[in-house]
Amino acid sequence: MFIIIFYNHRIKTDLPDYVNQVSLEELYGQSDIIILHVSQTPQTTEMIDAAAIAKMRAGVIVINTARGGLINEYDLTQALTTGKILAAGIDMSKQEPILADSPLLTAKNCYITPHIAWAPKETRKRLLDITISNLMAFLDGKPVNVVN
Protein backbone atom coordinates (compact mmCIF):
# COMPACT_ATOMS: atom_id res chain seq x y z
CA MET A 1 0.00 0.00 0.00
CA PHE A 2 1.18 3.52 -0.68
CA ILE A 3 0.44 6.79 1.02
CA ILE A 4 0.41 10.12 -0.70
CA ILE A 5 1.34 13.07 1.45
CA PHE A 6 0.98 16.68 0.44
CA TYR A 7 1.41 20.15 1.80
CA ASN A 8 -1.00 23.01 1.27
CA HIS A 9 -1.25 26.18 3.32
CA ARG A 10 -5.03 25.65 3.40
CA ILE A 11 -6.49 22.67 5.26
CA LYS A 12 -8.12 20.16 2.94
CA THR A 13 -10.91 17.81 4.04
CA ASP A 14 -12.65 14.74 2.66
CA LEU A 15 -9.42 13.08 1.58
CA PRO A 16 -9.16 9.41 0.60
CA ASP A 17 -7.62 7.13 3.24
CA TYR A 18 -4.34 6.94 1.34
CA VAL A 19 -3.87 10.75 1.21
CA ASN A 20 -2.56 12.76 4.18
CA GLN A 21 -1.98 16.48 4.50
CA VAL A 22 1.24 17.25 6.37
CA SER A 23 3.37 20.26 7.21
CA LEU A 24 6.03 21.35 4.75
CA GLU A 25 8.69 20.15 7.20
CA GLU A 26 7.08 16.71 7.34
CA LEU A 27 6.78 16.61 3.56
CA TYR A 28 10.50 17.29 3.16
CA GLY A 29 11.44 14.68 5.76
CA GLN A 30 9.09 11.86 4.73
CA SER A 31 8.92 12.00 0.93
CA ASP A 32 10.64 9.66 -1.48
CA ILE A 33 9.45 11.81 -4.39
CA ILE A 34 8.63 15.52 -4.19
CA ILE A 35 6.62 17.00 -7.04
CA LEU A 36 6.07 20.74 -7.14
CA HIS A 37 2.64 21.98 -8.25
CA VAL A 38 2.58 25.50 -6.84
CA SER A 39 2.52 29.06 -8.06
CA GLN A 40 5.66 31.10 -7.62
CA THR A 41 5.08 33.66 -4.89
CA PRO A 42 7.44 35.36 -2.45
CA GLN A 43 6.69 32.46 -0.06
CA THR A 44 7.47 29.72 -2.58
CA THR A 45 10.43 31.25 -4.42
CA GLU A 46 13.40 28.91 -3.90
CA MET A 47 11.34 26.69 -1.62
CA ILE A 48 13.80 23.97 -2.63
CA ASP A 49 17.14 25.30 -1.41
CA ALA A 50 20.01 24.05 0.74
CA ALA A 51 17.98 24.40 3.95
CA ALA A 52 15.03 22.43 2.53
CA ILE A 53 17.31 19.83 0.96
CA ALA A 54 19.03 19.28 4.32
CA LYS A 55 15.65 18.19 5.74
CA MET A 56 15.02 15.68 2.94
CA ARG A 57 15.70 11.97 2.95
CA ALA A 58 18.83 10.88 1.13
CA GLY A 59 17.96 9.64 -2.34
CA VAL A 60 14.83 11.73 -2.81
CA ILE A 61 13.63 12.53 -6.33
CA VAL A 62 12.50 16.08 -7.09
CA ILE A 63 10.20 16.92 -10.00
CA ASN A 64 9.27 20.48 -10.90
CA THR A 65 6.57 21.11 -13.49
CA ALA A 66 5.47 24.41 -11.94
CA ARG A 67 7.90 27.37 -12.06
CA GLY A 68 11.69 27.48 -12.38
CA GLY A 69 12.12 29.97 -9.53
CA LEU A 70 10.83 27.45 -7.00
CA ILE A 71 14.25 25.80 -6.94
CA ASN A 72 17.66 27.22 -6.14
CA GLU A 73 19.47 25.69 -9.11
CA TYR A 74 22.92 25.84 -7.52
CA ASP A 75 21.72 24.09 -4.34
CA LEU A 76 19.91 21.44 -6.40
CA THR A 77 23.06 20.84 -8.46
CA GLN A 78 25.13 20.41 -5.29
CA ALA A 79 22.61 17.92 -3.88
CA LEU A 80 22.60 15.95 -7.14
CA THR A 81 26.41 15.89 -7.14
CA THR A 82 26.58 14.52 -3.59
CA GLY A 83 23.70 12.08 -4.11
CA LYS A 84 21.51 13.65 -1.42
CA ILE A 85 18.98 14.06 -4.23
CA LEU A 86 19.01 10.98 -6.46
CA ALA A 87 17.46 12.63 -9.50
CA ALA A 88 15.60 15.71 -10.65
CA GLY A 89 13.08 16.23 -13.42
CA ILE A 90 12.89 19.88 -14.39
CA ASP A 91 10.39 21.24 -16.94
CA MET A 92 11.68 24.80 -16.77
CA SER A 93 14.58 26.77 -15.43
CA LYS A 94 14.77 29.95 -13.43
CA GLN A 95 15.86 31.76 -16.60
CA GLU A 96 14.24 30.79 -19.88
CA PRO A 97 15.61 29.90 -22.22
CA ILE A 98 18.03 28.14 -19.94
CA LEU A 99 21.40 29.84 -19.80
CA ALA A 100 24.33 28.04 -21.40
CA ASP A 101 26.24 28.14 -18.11
CA SER A 102 23.36 26.81 -15.97
CA PRO A 103 24.71 24.20 -13.55
CA LEU A 104 21.64 22.06 -14.27
CA LEU A 105 22.86 21.31 -17.80
CA THR A 106 25.76 19.26 -16.48
CA ALA A 107 24.24 18.09 -13.20
CA LYS A 108 24.24 14.37 -12.51
CA ASN A 109 20.82 12.70 -12.94
CA CYS A 110 19.11 15.94 -13.93
CA TYR A 111 16.54 15.54 -16.68
CA ILE A 112 15.37 18.75 -18.30
CA THR A 113 12.45 19.17 -20.67
CA PRO A 114 11.83 22.41 -22.57
CA HIS A 115 8.76 23.63 -20.65
CA ILE A 116 6.44 21.13 -22.30
CA ALA A 117 4.72 19.38 -19.37
CA TRP A 118 1.44 20.84 -20.61
CA ALA A 119 1.95 19.62 -24.19
CA PRO A 120 0.43 16.12 -24.34
CA LYS A 121 -2.54 15.88 -26.70
CA GLU A 122 -4.89 15.05 -23.82
CA THR A 123 -3.85 18.19 -21.93
CA ARG A 124 -4.33 20.44 -24.91
CA LYS A 125 -7.74 18.88 -25.61
CA ARG A 126 -8.78 19.45 -22.00
CA LEU A 127 -7.66 23.10 -22.22
CA LEU A 128 -9.69 23.61 -25.39
CA ASP A 129 -12.73 21.91 -23.82
CA ILE A 130 -12.47 24.22 -20.79
CA THR A 131 -12.12 27.26 -23.05
CA ILE A 132 -15.18 26.30 -25.06
CA SER A 133 -17.18 25.58 -21.88
CA ASN A 134 -16.18 28.95 -20.39
CA LEU A 135 -17.14 30.76 -23.60
CA MET A 136 -20.52 28.99 -23.79
CA ALA A 137 -21.22 29.81 -20.11
CA PHE A 138 -20.37 33.48 -20.78
CA LEU A 139 -22.67 33.60 -23.80
CA ASP A 140 -25.44 32.03 -21.66
CA GLY A 141 -24.97 34.85 -19.11
CA LYS A 142 -23.46 32.51 -16.50
CA PRO A 143 -19.73 33.25 -16.63
CA VAL A 144 -17.31 31.00 -14.72
CA ASN A 145 -13.70 31.54 -13.68
CA VAL A 146 -14.33 35.27 -13.50
CA VAL A 147 -11.44 37.50 -12.45
CA ASN A 148 -12.57 40.91 -11.31
Can you give the pLDDT at residue 32?
Answer: 96
pLDDT of residue 119: 74
Over pLDDT 90: what percentage of the chain?
A: 75
Residue 56 CB burial class (10 angstroms; 0-12, 13-18, ≥19): buried
pLDDT given at position 77: 97
Phi, psi (rounded to 5 degrees) for 61 = -110, 135
Residue 5's DSSP bridge partners are 20
The overall average pLDDT reported for the chain is 92
pLDDT higher than threshold 90 for residue 29: yes
Say yes or no to pLDDT of 1 above 70.
no
Specify the long-range contacts of residues 117-123, CB closer than 8 Å, at least 24 apart: 117/65, 117/91
pLDDT average, residue stretch 69-76 = 97
Least confidently predicted of 18-27, 38-47, 67-76, 107-116? 107-116
Local structure of 146: helix, strand or coil:
coil
Alpha-carbon distances of 111 from 15, 138, 147, rounded to whole Å: 32, 41, 36
Q: pLDDT tens digit string along 122-137?
A: 888 888 899 999 999 9
Residue 47's pLDDT is what? 97
DSSP 115: S
Active site residues: 67, 96, 115
* pTM for the whole structure: 0.80
* Alpha-carbon distance values, 136 to 6, 130, 141 (Å): 35, 10, 9
Could you give the count of Cα atoms lying within 13 Å of 85 in the half-sphere of its Cβ? Answer: 31
